[in-house]
Amino acid sequence: MTFRISPLWWPFLGITSPVIIPLLMTKNKRYKKNRARAIELNNNRMSQAKPLDLPELDFLELTVLVEEKTEQGFVGDAGVSYLFRTDQGSMLFDVGFGPERPALAHNATKLNIKPDQIDSLTISHLHPDHMGGLKAMRSKSVALPKELGIPEGRPCFLPDRAEAKGFKCELIDKPQLLTGGIATTGPLARSLFFLGLTEEQALIANLKGKGLIIFTGCGHPTIELIVEMVKHLSKEPVYIIGGGLHFPVTGGRGNRVGIQLQTLIGTGKPVWQKITDEDLNNTINALNKFNPDKVFLSGHDSCDPSLERMKNELKAKTEVLKAGKTYRFES
C-alpha cells in the first residue's frame, strides 16, 4: 500500500493535531468559498465567451523542453515547458522549475534553442512547476534560467497577476489570440485546498483541414471544462488534446521526505479525499466523447498507471510526451 504521507510522519501529526485540525478547518472553509467563487467565475466567462477568429495554420510543431518522461540524454522533471512553432510564429509555454532545477537549461541547450526563436512566453498558471520554481511562486515573478537568454521586451501572457523580469507582461482576462496564430481560452478557475483559487489558461490552435489543437499546463480546471470553453470559441472539431490532466491516482511525482505532494495539493478535492480511478473513468469517458484524433499526455502530474489506462482506454491515438522530442502536425 502507498501512503500519501509516510507512517514516519504519523507520530508528529498526532502530537501537532491540536494545531493542524483547526488549520485544516480554516482551509476547508476557504476552499468551499473558493469553490463557489470558481463556479461563478467560470459560468460568467462561458456566458461572455464569443467565437475567436482563429487563423488556419499550415503546421504546428511542438518541442518538449521539460517533462517527466524523456528521450535519451535529456533531463526529466515533474514540470512542463513546451515550445510551439507555427507558420505564423512561435511561443514558449511554461518554464518548468526554471533556474531552480537543471532540466530547462540543460534541455534547451542540448536542443540549441536560441532567444530569437521565441516570440512570446505564456504561463499556464502560477505554480512552481510551470512558472520557474518555489521562489518564483512566492514572489509571483516568473523565473527563467540565464542559459535560455530570451531577449527583453517580448510579451509574457499571464492568467493572474505576476511579474516576469524583462518581459512586457500582459494579464489575460478573456479568450484572445496571442502569438504564432495560437489563442488562449482565457483563465478558468479551480479551488485547490492548499493553493487557493487557481487561475489557469490553456492554448488553442486551428490546424487547416484537421481541426483544433488544445494544450493544457496541468488541466486544473478539468479538461471537461476547458473543452466546454473551447466549444464556445470555435465550431471546428477537436483534432488533438495534449498536456497535463493531473491524475496522480497511485502516487505523485517529485515526492519529498515521504510526502506525496501532488496527491494532496493539486486535485481540487479536500485534503482527506483522494483522487480515484472513478475520477479517471469520468475523464476517459469525456475524452472519448470529445473524439480527438490524437491525445498527447503529460507525465509530470499523472502517475504511470493513470497514463497506461488512458493509453489503453482512449479511442484516440495516445502518446506520452517526452522531453527532447519534437512533434509536428501538418494540414
Q: What is the pLDDT of residues 247-282, one digit of tens each?
A: 999 999 988 888 898 998 888 999 999 999 999 999
Give the helix ranges, DSSP H, for the chain: 10-15, 17-48, 103-110, 128-131, 134-139, 223-233, 261-265, 277-290, 304-313
Average pLDDT score, the chain = 95
Query: pLDDT exceeding 70 applies to what percent of the chain?
Result: 100
Instruction: Say which residue the cell 535529456 belongs to.
Output: 74
Neighbouring-strand partners of residue 226:
none
Identify whether the C-beta of residue 219 lies closer than 8 Å to the C-beta of residue 90. Answer: no
Q: pLDDT by residue (tens digit) across 302-316?
A: 999 999 999 999 999
pTM: 0.97
> Which single residue is written with the C-alpha cell 488512458?
310
Q: With bands split at pLDDT 50, 70 and 90, how would you rate the model's confidence at 8?
A: confident
Strand 141-142 versus strand 163-164 pairing type: parallel
Arithmetic mean of pLDDT, 135-156: 92
Quote the CA–CA distance of 252 and 133 in Å, as a whole number: 17
Element (H, E) at 92: strand 89-93
Cβ burial 187-221 (10 Å sphere, 16+ → b, else e): bbbbbbbebebbbbbbbbbbbeebbbbbbbbbbbb
**Per-residue b/e over 292-317, b at no fewer than 16 CB within 10 Å?**
bebbbbbbbbbbeebbebbeeebebe
Determine the Cα–Cα distance for residues 296 and 242; give it in Å rounded to an integer: 4
Q: What is the pLDDT of residues 22-47, one digit of tens each?
A: 999 999 999 999 999 999 999 999 99
Asked whether the predicted pLDDT for residue 96 surpasses 70, the reply is yes
Q: Which band of pLDDT confidence, cut at 50, 70 and 90, is reported for residue 179?
A: very high
Encoded amino acid at 82, one letter: Y
Joined grid coordinates for residue 213: 489543437
Averaged pLDDT, 173-186:
98
pLDDT number for residue 222:
98
Residue 285, SS3 per DSSP: helix
- CA of 218: how far to CAs of 3, 198, 239, 292, 313, in Å? 23, 11, 19, 19, 21
Looking at residue 1, what is its pLDDT?
60
Give the domain 7-49+56-330 fold: Metallo-beta-lactamase; Chain A (3.60.15)
> Is there a contact between 222 and 246 (Cβ–Cβ < 8 Å)?
no
- How far, in Å, are 93, 95, 98, 116, 295 from residue 103 at the CA level? 15, 10, 8, 21, 24
The domains of the chain are located at 7-49+56-330
Backbone angles phi, psi at 97, to 5 degrees: -85, 10
Range 216-223 average pLDDT: 98
Cα Rg of the chain, angstroms: 19
Number of other residues whose CB lies within 10 A of the CB of residue 6: 13
What number is the average pLDDT over the span 126-144?
A: 97
